[in-house]
Each structure stands twice: as structure tokens, then as C-alpha cells.
Chain A
């Protein structure tokens, strides 16, 4: 038997060592009962679709904003001055940017003029006027300003504008879509802050990941990955809580029929590609079929990230 005390301790080494101790051959007929029960529970070939257990965009936004606010409340003054890998500099700069974005979104919702019309198409620039005005705001106060305006925005969306379309960076988007984009952004900036502080990256819960990944696939269905190329089908299989299976069309909408390419990846990492926190080239995935479609598909996945 392997000597477990000479090993570098990690779960697989422990598992390797314990398995011979624990393993016992299961009765020969055991699998037949499992197989029969499995076929009743879910028919052979029936995939578990993405988004089946997703939360709603309102709750997703509120939960993500609350998690970021909780993180901010735990930061020291030194933490607030830590440099992030974003264009907004310090943690304070990131939150000032978010406060600016809340103001921008609220104005878009209320059909009011934006703070800087010349910067309307640029996500970073459109927050600048408000962010500059908050440059000297104490940390705790800034966190409250941002969080209060984020909650005000989502409550306005829920109460008065549920079926409205608003223009974000001059692109029309439904209220739910806007909240989803904002949820991606809040999550991405939470990761930015954690990365800057050397903290473990937060993992979104399954219901939020289910919502975000399913809507993401819906948004890229039909994307052009090669000019003039024929229609193709991509099967995206996303692993982990919130994961599932989704088929999309490439070079034209519709994911019906056998897949030309099948990609298997972790659901969180796939969402990180969408928020440009990892590149398509850095994504760990398995692909079968026409692999030439993978890189442009992953590039298209990140097209909504505004940072």
C-alpha cells in the first residue's frame, strides 16, 4: 500500500491513498438498478439545458451589488488605495466609476440628458464627470453613495420600467438585459478588487450563473464568426453549478441540428471570458469538431464587455 505519510498532502493524493482501503466491489447487479432509475429520471440523450434554474435579473443584480458592498465594508483604508488592473486605478477609483455608471443608467432610465453627451458611447468616459466629483469622498461614504444609487436603480427598474427599453452607450437594451450587463460588471469589478488585494475570487452562486450564461448564449446566438461562411451550430457545455447545455447558431441564428463544434468549459470561466477577465486563449476548454470556429466564437462572447 502507498505510504500516505511520504506524500505531499493534497486531496487527490489522500484520495489515492485511501481508495485502496475503502474500495469494495459493488454487487454485480447494482448498476442495472441505477441504470433503470436513471432512465426514468431523465431520458437518454435529453440534455440539461442552460438557465433552467436561473434566478431573475433583478435578484441577480441586488445579490451581486450586496456582495460587493459587503466586501467594501470589510476593507481597510490601505485596501481602498490598492491599485487594480482596471483603467480606474485604485479600489476607490473603481467604486467612483461604478457610482458614475449608476448615475448614467438612472439618467438613461429617466430619459434625462447624460452628464457628458460627448462620452455617451464610451463606458469608462461616461462615468468620468461623476467619478471626478467623488474623488475626495471618504471611502465609507463613497461605498454608501454607490450602493444606494445601485439599489435605487434596480428598484426603479422593477417598479416602473420593467418592460422599458433604455439606451446604454447609444444601444437599445431592455431593462432585464441592462441589469444583466450591470451584474456582469459588478461581478467583474468585485473580482478586480479581490485580485488587487490578493483575496480569493468570489464564485457566483448557481442560480446567477445559470441566468447569466443562458442569457449570454442567447445574446451571441447567430453571431458572425467568419464573413461569408455557411451557417453552423455550436454546442456549448458549461460545467459546474449553474451550468448546462446550450446550442447556438453561428453565422446566422438557430442552433438546430447536429453540432459542428462542441465546447466544454467551466461556467464561471466562460462568463469570465464574456467579462474579459480572462481571454479566450487562456480559457481551459475541450473542443470537438470544427475547432476553427472556437477562437472567433470566444472572441464574440466578449463583445458585450465594456469594462
Chain B
């Protein structure tokens, strides 16, 4: 029997997650509503932090929950909780959204330079998104600015749903090193988030 060596998530809510995912597989839209009610704030908030834009965050939120409805079998509870999974997918899709916007912005700027004027839609967008962008930029910068080994450890731990032991195994480093990288990463992230909160207008 192999049960002793099968790695189980520490998630006490695994049974609840399993129930909701089972119902999604069966096509029960009430399960989608229940999952949305539990996690939409996390998904929307994370998406807004990364994109710096409420409209983009709403698009990402819609994509994430629609993807879950279409592919509930993509969630592997042996690797992490439903919340971790949604965090991973949200993060990836938000990054994709930022990249798409950056590419579009670059195109607009090129077109503007060629025409000798700034594209009006781009100008309007900058004014509207300025506050959101500045507010979220620090968090993005905090994550992006972490040393790569700390960022990798944090991403595996939170967005990848790994325990520090699994982080150590995945990165091929001792468990103590994984633990200290995570602590350093979280420490730095907290400092930057607090700085952001202090600087934000009341």
C-alpha cells in the first residue's frame, strides 16, 4: 500500500473544494456561484493589483471563472487548494493582460510618433488609470523586484500551491534555504505593501 507516501495537501477545506469541483464537473451552476462568492474578491483584487486597472481586472475575473466552469478538471487538489489554483490562474491571466496592454500601448506610441501626435485614446487611458497604476505598481514592483530566487520560491509557494518542503524539492535546495527564501520574500513584500499603504491618499 502506498498511502503513506502520497503527499496530501494540508488544506482542511479539501473536502469542501472537492464537493464544489465535483458539482462543477456535473454542470451545477450553483457551484460556480458558490465559488464566485468565496473567491471573487481575491481574484478581482489580485487581478487589479497586477493590471492596475479595474476594467482589465474585471475581464480577468470573468476569464478565470469561465475557465473554471469549462475546465474544472484542471484543478488538482493533490497539489493545492482551489484558492491556490485560482490565484495561479488569475496571476497568469493578469500578467498576460498587462503584456497585451503594453504591446498595444507600444503600438499606439509608435503610431502617435509617426503621426506627430499622441493617440487620444491612449492619453485618456493614462489619465484614468494613473492612480490605479501608481497604487498597484509598487506591489508589482515589489514582486518583480525580489531577487529571482526569492520570487521563484514565493511563486511556487503561493501561486504554485507548494509547501516549503515541495518548494525545496522543486528548486533542488535544502528545506531550510527554501524556508529562509520565503521569509525574506514575504518580509520584503510586506515592507513594500506597507510603504504603499502609507503613501496612498486617505
Contact = CB atoms under 8 A, between A and B. Distances in A.
B42 A9 contact: no
Nearest to A282: B3
Interface stretch (B25-33, B111-119, B120-128): B25-33
B72 A48 contact: yes
Interface in B111-163: 157-158, 160-163
- The B interface, classified by DSSP as helix, strand, loop or mixed, is helix
A143 interface: no
A286 B163 CA distance: 25
Contact of A282 (B1, B26, B43): B1
A22 B42 contact: yes
B45 A23 contact: yes
Interface residues of B, number: 66
A295 interface: no
Contact of A26 (B29, B61, B75, B77): B61
Contact of B27 (A26, A45, A203): A45
A46 B70 CA distance: 11
A249 interface: no
A22 B76 contact: no
B10 A38 contact: no
B52 interface: no
Interface residues of A, number: 60
A141 interface: no
Given A201-B2, A240-B73, A240-B76, A42 B27 contact: yes
Contacts of B76: 203, 240-241
Interface in B157-202: 157-158, 160-164, 169, 179, 182-183, 186-187, 190, 193
A82 to B, nearest CB: 14
Contacts of B21: 239
B81 interface: yes
A11 B77 contact: no
A99 interface: no
B62 A47 contact: no
A240 to B, nearest CB: 5
B73 A48 contact: yes
Given A195-B5, A241-B73, A9 B29 contact: no
Contacts of B77: 239-240, 266
B97 interface: no
B69 A22 contact: no
Interface in A232-285: 235, 237, 239-245, 264, 266, 268-269, 272, 277-279, 282
Interface string B51-68: 000100010011001100
Interface string A33-49: 11101110111111110
Contacts of A27: 44, 54, 58
B27 A47 contact: yes
B40 A31 contact: yes
A10 B41 contact: no
B96 interface: no
B2 A9 contact: no
Given A15-B84, A47-B26, A26 B66 contact: no
A4 B25 CA distance: 35
A41 B5 CA distance: 39
A200 B18 CA distance: 23
A21 interface: yes
A35 B40 CA distance: 13
Interface of A: 4-5, 9-12, 14-15, 18-19, 21-27, 30-31, 33-35, 37-39, 41-48, 85, 191, 195, 198, 200-201, 203, 206, 235, 237, 239-245, 264, 266, 268-269, 272, 277-279, 282, 286
12 contacts: A9-B182, A14-B186, A27-B54, A45-B27, A85-B1, A200-B7, A237-B25, A239-B75, A241-B74, A266-B78, A279-B1, A286-B22
